[in-house]
């Protein structure tokens, strides 16, 4: 639809496409509304559906004294980790959205530490638990406090 206007101060006339301007405006409002209603982040819940995770990792009944436990969720699209203490306990670095996560262990060993007791701990953890692609450890995180212990065999 076209509209002929003569309201310009210099007396010239302009032609406006009022129908397409209105349609563009409505599309913009609709798109903005949908994006605001759907939220961000891809998680299944809001901030109140977050879980804090603590636990203990053991190998053959003994605490894993060093390393880092990592949680990765393809479902939620989030990951987190926590350093292991000499007692084998951990706390994830922050709360994570509810969901199912794969858990695996990584180590930060400097080349100068190779051959030392600090590096020997890597040998105590079966290889399948040292990679996201090979681990069979899964954990469900629920909102609130979660205690998740792992016995690696």
- For the chain, 153 residues long, give each residue's pLDDT as a single digit of tens: 444 444 444 554 444 444 444 444 433 333 333 333 333 344 444 456 999 999 999 999 999 999 999 999 988 889 999 999 999 999 999 999 999 999 999 999 888 888 887 788 899 999 999 999 999 999 999 999 999 999 999
pTM higher than 0.85:
no
pLDDT at position 109 is: 87
Q: Show contacts of 124-133: CB within 8 Å, 24+ apart.
A: 124/59, 124/60, 124/64, 125/59, 125/64, 125/67, 125/152, 126/152, 126/153, 129/104, 129/105, 130/104, 130/105, 130/106, 131/104, 132/70, 132/72, 132/102, 132/104
């Amino acid at each position: 639809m076209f509209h002929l206007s003569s309201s310009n101060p210099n007396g010239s006339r302009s032609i406006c496409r009022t129908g397409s301007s209105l349609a563009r405006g409505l599309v913009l409002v609709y798109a903005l509304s949908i994006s605001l209603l759907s939220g961000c982040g891809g998680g299944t819940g809001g901030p109140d559906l977050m879980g804090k995770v603590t636990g203990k990792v053991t190998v053959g009944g003994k605490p894993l004294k060093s390393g880092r436990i990592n949680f990765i969720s393809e479902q939620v699209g989030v990951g987190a980790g926590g350093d292991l203490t000499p007692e084998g306990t951990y706390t994830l670095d922050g709360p994570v959205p509810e969901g199912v996560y794969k858990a695996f262990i990584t180590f930060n060993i400097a080349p100068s530490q190779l051959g030392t007791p600090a590096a020997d701990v890597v040998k105590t953890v079966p290889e399948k638990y040292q990679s996201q692609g090979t681990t069979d450890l899964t954990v469900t995180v629920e909102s609130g406090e979660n205690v998740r212990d792992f016995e690696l065999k």
